[in-house]
Amino acid sequence: MPAPVIVEKKKLETPPRQIHFLGDRTLRQPAKRVAKVDEEIRLLVKEMFQTMYSSNGIGLAAPQVGVHKQVIVIDIEPDKPEVETLVLINPVIKKLSRQVCDMEEGCLSVPNVFIDVTRPEEVEVSYKDELGHPRTLKARGLLSRVIQHEMDHLQGVLFVDRVENELLLTEELRKNKFSPSAVKPIK
Ligand code: NI
C-alpha cells in the first residue's frame, strides 16, 4: 500500500530541488499529464514540499523545478504543522466564478516582486492526490488564488503575464534585476 507523503514543515540548508527564475525558458514549457501516480511522483512531491518550505513559499508547481509534469504542491499555512497540505496532480478547472477580485501575488520564480493580479474569486478543480485518488475541491480566498496561480505554471504562464499595471511591473522587475522582456502579457 502506498503511503501518503508526509513532510516536516521546515527549512533545509540544501533543498533537494532548484527553482528556476523568470527569464529561464524552462518556465515557459507546458507540463504533461502524469500517466501513473507512483513512487517516483511521490518522491517529486516530497522534494517539492521541502524546496517550497525552504524558500518560504505557499505553493510550487513542478515546472518551477524543471520538471514538466502536472504536479502542484500547496500549503497556505506553512507555520502550522497541524494543517494538512494539498497535492494536485493533473488538475482540471471545473468552474470559475464570474466574480473577480484583486489580490497581491508573488512567486518563488520571481522573488521579491509582489503585485496585484485580477482573477476569478472562486475555483472548482478536479485532480488526483498523491495516492492517485480522484478528488474535487471548491476554494475561495487565498487558496483559490494559489490554485489558479500554480495551475498557470503548468501552462507556462507566470503571474507577471497577468499584471495590468505595466509601469509598476516594469519598475518592480528592474529593481529586482529581472528583464521586463521576459514577461509575456496575456490578452
Ligand atoms: Ni509561482
pTM (global) more than 0.85: yes
What residues sit around ligand 1, an ion, with C-beta below 5 angstroms?
107
Structural domain contains residue 16: no
Distance 157 CA to ligand 1 centre (A): 9
pLDDT at site 165: 96
Question: How many helical (H) and strand (E) elements, i.e. helices and strands, does the chain have?
Answer: 3, 7
Is 122 catalytic? The answer is no
Q: Grid coordinates standing for 38? A: 507512483
pLDDT value, residue 2: 86
Cα(67)–Cα(87) distance, integer angstroms = 15
Residue 36, pLDDT score: 97
d(CA 156, CA 137): 23
Q: Which residues of 10-28 are buried (b: 16+ CB within 10 A; e: fewer)?
A: eeeeebebebbbbbeeebb
Q: What is the pLDDT of residue 187?
A: 72
Q: Which residue of the set 47, 105, 122, 150 is catalytic?
A: 150
Q: CA dist 139 to 94, 118, 127, 142, 144, Å? A: 12, 16, 13, 8, 5
Residue 62 Cα to ligand 1 middle (Å): 10
Give φ, ψ of 5 to 5 degrees.
-80, 120
How many A from CA of 1 to the centre of ligand 1?
33
User: From ligand 1's centre to the CA of 131, what distance in Å?
Assistant: 24
Residue 3 lies in a domain: no
Asked if residue 10 belongs to a domain, the reply is no
Dist. CA 54 → ligand 1 center (Å): 15
In a domain, 19, yes or no: no
> Is residue 4 included in any domain, yes or no?
no
Q: How many CB atoms lie within 10 A of CB 127?
A: 22
Q: How far is the CA of 36 from the centre of ligand 1 (A)?
A: 25
pLDDT in tens, the chain (187 residues): 788 899 999 999 999 999 999 999 999 999 999 999 999 999 999 999 999 999 999 999 999 999 999 999 999 999 999 999 999 999 999 999 999 999 999 999 999 999 999 999 999 999 999 999 999 999 999 999 999 999 999 999 999 999 999 999 999 999 999 999 999 999 7
Q: Has residue 99 been placed in a domain? A: yes
Q: Could you give the number of structural domains in the chain? A: 1
- Please report, for residues 3, 38, 80, 170, 173, the alpha-carbon distance to residue 185 in angstroms, rounded to integers and kept in the order given: 41, 36, 36, 12, 14
Domain of 58?
25-182
Give the whole-angstrom CA distance, residue 102 versus residue 122: 12
The radius of gyration computed from the CA coordinates of the chain, to the nearest angstrom, equals 16
Using alpha carbons, list the distances in angstroms from residue 47 to 3, 60, 73.
15, 11, 10
What CATH number is associated with residue 74? Answer: 3.90.45.10
H/E stretch holding 125: strand 123-128
- Has residue 1 been placed in a domain? no
Q: Is residue 18 part of a domain?
A: no
